[in-house]
Structure 1
Amino acid sequence: MENGAETIAQDEIIFRSKYPSVQVPEDLTLPEFVLSNAEPYLDKVAFVDALTGKGYNYGEVTRDIKRFANALRSLGLRKGRVVVVVLPNVAEYAVIALGIMAAGGVFSGANPNAHSSEIKKQVEAADAKLIVTDGSTYDKVKDLGLPVIIQGEDRVEGTIYWDELLEAADRATTGIVEEKVHQNDLCALPFSSGTTGLSKGVMLTHRNIVANLCSTLFSVGPELIGQVTILGLIPFFHIYGLTGICCASIRNKGRVVVMRRYELRAFMSALIIHQIMFAPVVPPIILELVKNPIVDEFDLTKLKLGSVMTAAAPLAPEILTEFEKKFPGVEVQEVMHNL
């Protein structure tokens, strides 16, 4: 019996898909991978705020990722150090996350609606060296003893302002330590929801996420490069929001319509005004789209929506049937995410 067990242990057992292996490009970091081939799209809008209309084109996204990376290096951020980002969905979110990664840092998104004690636990567990937040959330991080970058229009004494930091990085020409970032270096430290115990950080390398983007449903065919408009409602601090929405859209040269919070009228208006084609949502939103009479205030013939993706919980079959009747031609995809 022992000899048989030893034989099995020595044999390599590999289950292979019937489909060809996905080709993962070597040596590209995540920022390099998603921004590759961006030159023809520099004037195309990459992110737009659904409420204010403020947007960033690919030229600005590319420029500001580099500016923020240089700014972080000028502040002394070294490779492998963690930066915790405590922000709602904003048009600048992907620039911040990818700028951290481009500098060699490790992005760790935190829920801005979390209690200060929860944010403190994440900051301490990650051994973070810097925090990025906004004026409305600053009180939750002010006593953590770390430098704080404030994004947005608010001004808080004793903090570093996002806009001024980028401008200073433009002027800085000396004293910046630039360390080579490799594909197997850590780039993200998302924290689980704690379903099976305490919340835990998950160490992801550039290669992990690049490989994921090469193999997921968020990849599109060549005919749709530069053509897809996606709803950015799923929280970007969640790895699904950052990878599946932000990074995949940049890779596909699509446009993300950013929403900070869900409200049905604003949601319906965004779908129609911005001609959203793909909307990752959660089952309660599907339920409201089926049941709430507010939806009937809108001309559904103006929708350009081709598909919705639901995650986080199963969708009841009867709700799916009702949705398909009310929104004929809109494909419903269901996926499960545990992080």
Structure 2
Amino acid sequence: MKPWLDLYPVTIPKTLEYDRKPVQQYLTDAAKKYPNKTAIHFMGKELTYQELFESSLKMANYLRSLDIKKGDRVAIMLPNTPQAVISYYGILYAGAIVVQTNPLYTERELEYQMKDSGAKAIIGLDLLYPRITKVMANTDLEHIIVTAIKDYLPFPKNVIYPFIQKRDTGIVVKVNHEGNRHLFKHIMNVSSPDEVPTEFNFDSDLALLQYTGGTTGNPKGVMLTHKNLIANATACDAWLYKMKKGEESILGLLPLFHVYGMTTVLILGVMEGYEMILLPKFDVETTLKTIHKQRPTLFPGAPTIYIGLLNHPDIKKYDLSSIESCISGSAPLPIEVQEKFEEATGGKLVEGYGLTETSPVTHANFLWDQERIKGSIGVPWPDTEAKIVSMENGEALPPGEVGEIAVKGPQVMQGYWNMPEETENTLKDGWLLTGDLGYMDEKGYFYVVDRKKDMIIAGGFNIYPREIEEVLYEHPAVQEVVAAGVPDVYRGETVKAYIVLKEGKNVTEKELDEFARKHLAAYKVPKIYEFRDELPKTAVGKVLRRHLVDEERKKMEQEEKLG
């Protein structure tokens, strides 16, 4: 029974046909169809689809010359730059598997991922070179390819940028193209753009090892095939049915090393012949200026990004009306943020849902031609099944009952790299247990109440942080909020709210407490409030709730020792 299919507008197929070809074939096709169209816009520099295609083949041929073979792993440790796109498709053209690596990783995190993945080569930024070289000896890494932001900047930015980099970081890195050290720029000058033939199996060949955030335990390498990625990008295209092939432009602000940015920008963009407007990091003013000047029509993002833009004091100075559609992911989207962003742009912003393990999207709200349910993650995408299962016995639950969300579909991973036991615990008869608690209503709309691990149990009551956060977001002084369960001698856990205030706004704990009590049952109202300048977040903007809880535990242990 799939009640959500009755909600689909006629414009969205209930089942899809998928191209049985490798992901990189979309770039080959786009270069033939749109050779002179801008594929990438990066801080004033533009690359056409033909240039992107040839550059990717040069990288593929060079990797082959380093004895990178089909199935070998090659890591990318880059922010959103043309080099990140070239490297991604170059690795796939070589028949290898991409290992996306967060440029913010510490040496310990980087070493773990390189050891676990067995990557033979890494493509990284010059600023990261010292960090990478320190871990090479303890891993299987044989080669490092180095690039710099300035390599793809237009004149005179390419001349000025190294001075700015030195001023801001104090780091000056000089690498010679010799031995197992290779310069990206040199590769583009000497390597051949000839096509690279590789054998290919659509159903089983891995395209990507995408590591989970590791907010609980070590990160896990999620094995995603070409089929997984193509299925999800195809479904994304079907959901965005008003977008015109070859005519749209996507704001590439989400990190491409994150699965959401990779699917919605890197793959969908090339699949549809869109222009990708890349920004290497999230800066509110730069983002607003870029939207005003470059006129993107698609803007995949995360709630913290939309919140940051909405709270800029000069937002009204910028024309944001080019934006037609945004699907928000990575964290719950507060209703107030959705409404205000739609008012500021005139476009549609809806909440979606997914995981690294599902390439990543499984659910989303309808953008057009159908009712949008506020507070819901929407309905399953074409060919995606979903159900709510009991945490006690795994049985499917009826509408309205809270349990664990389970999903099944062509975008679901093959398993975790080198972790058969973890795979067995997460994949049950083709169903992926998400670790998220939620329910489905009678119509087929799904709702996330919280992460299974984030649920607060205080005085015997089950409390969901998201419900508390939704209420506090409605207070006019609150810019960001996260609720967490912190240790409490009497209740086991108690609710604490961490608050970031809007610029120029003030509110007391007492006022927040009175506000919360009007909207929440007494046992759900935060007992402690803490005001902060910022909240700890992942690169994609997801608040690290566990970091805050760990802080509290350490503080409590310290107090007990002092005693």
Pairwise TM-score range, normalised by the shorter structure: 0.7 to 0.9
* 1:160–1:15 Cα change, 3 Å: farther
Structure number with greater CO (CA < 8 Å, separation at least 6) is: 1
Match of 2:327 in 1: 309
Cα pair distance change 1:63/1:177, threshold 3 Å: closer
Letter of the 1:123 partner, please give it: M
Spell out, residue by residue over 1:79-131, the C-alpha distance to the aligned partner (whole angstroms, 9 max, x if none): 11101111111022122111101111110111101111101110000011001
Residue 537 of structure 2: aligned partner: none
After superposition, the C-alpha distances for 1:115-170 in whole angstroms (9 at most, x for unaligned) are 11101110000011001001101111102133100123464145201121233322
Instruction: Quote the residue 1:294 is aligned against.
Output: 314
Q: Distance in 2 between matches of 1:30 and 1:331?
A: 28
2:263 is aligned with what amino acid?
T
Which of 253, 257, 270 is matched with 1:237 structurally?
A: 257
Q: Which of 269, 290, 302 does residue 249 from structure 1 map onto? A: 269
Q: For residue 24 of structure 2, what is the amino acid of its counterpart?
A: P
Summarize the alignment of residues 198-237 of structure 1 with structure 2, pairs less than 5 Å apart: 198-217=218-237, 220-221=240-241, 224-237=244-257
- Pairing of 1:160-179 with structure 2 (within 5 A): 160-170=182-192, 179=198
2:144 to 148, 157, 173: 148
Alpha-carbon separation, structure 1, partners of 2:28 and 2:22? 10
* Alpha carbons 1:74, 1:169 under 8 Å: kept: no
Alpha-carbon distance in structure 2 between the residues aligned to 1:241 and 1:98? 15
In the alignment, structure 1 residue 271 sits paired with structure 2 residue 318: no
The alignment yields a C-alpha RMSD, in angstroms, of 2.6
Q: Which residue does the alignment assign to 1:6?
A: none
Letter in 2 for 1:258: L
Q: Relative to structure 2, which stretch is displaced further, 131-140 or 315-324?
A: 315-324
Q: Is the 8 A contact 2:27 2:53 kept in 1?
A: no
- 2-structure distance, mates of 1:194, 1:120: 14
Partners in 2 of 1:277 and 1:240 — Cα distance? 18
Q: How does 1:1-339 map onto structure 2 within 5 Å?
A: 20-26=14-20, 28-49=21-42, 51=43, 53-143=44-134, 144-145=136-137, 146=141, 147-152=143-148, 153=151, 155-157=174-176, 158=178, 159-170=181-192, 179-183=198-202, 184-217=204-237, 220-221=240-241, 224-296=244-316, 298-300=317-319, 303-327=321-345, 329-339=346-356
Report sequence identity in percent.
25
Name whichever of 302-311 and 262-271 sits farther off: 302-311
Structure 2: runs of 5 or more not aligned: 7-12, 152-172, 357-563
Deviation at 1:36, TM superposition (A): 2.0
- The TM-score normalised by the length of structure 2 is 0.53
What is the match of residue 7 of structure 1?
none
C-alpha deviation, 1:195, in angstroms: 3.8
Please list every run of 5 or more consecutive structure 1 residues that lacks an aligned counterpart in the other structure: 1-12
**Cα contact 2:30–2:49 (8 A) shared by 1:** no
The residue number in structure 2 matching 1:10 is none
Deviates more, 1:113-122 or 1:17-26: 17-26
Distance 1:56 1:34 in 2: 13
- Secondary structure of the residue aligned to 2:99 is strand
Over residues 227-266 of structure 1, what are the superposed CA-to-partner deviations in whole Å (9 max), with x where a residue is unaligned? 1111001001111111221110011100011001111111
Say which SS state the counterpart of residue 123 (structure 2) adopts: strand
**Does the 8 A contact of 1:94 with 1:247 survive in 2?**
no
Matched with 2:459 is none
**How far does residue 215 in structure 1 lie from its aligned partner after superposition?**
1.6
Alignment partners' CA distance in 2, 1:125 and 1:85? 15
Q: What SS does the corresponding residue of 2:255 show, helix, strand or coil?
A: coil
Counterpart CA distance in 1 for 2:263 and 2:123 is 19
Residue 39 of structure 2 aligns with an amino acid whose one-letter code is A
Mapped contact 1:229–1:278 kept (Cα < 8 A): yes
> For each residue in 1:150-191, what CA deviation from the matched residue of structure 2 results, as whole angstroms up to 9, or x when unmatched?
1234641452011212333229x9xx9964233231111010
Q: Tell me by how many angstroms 1:208 deviates.
A: 1.6
> Per the alignment, in what secondary structure is the counterpart of residue 110 of structure 2?
helix
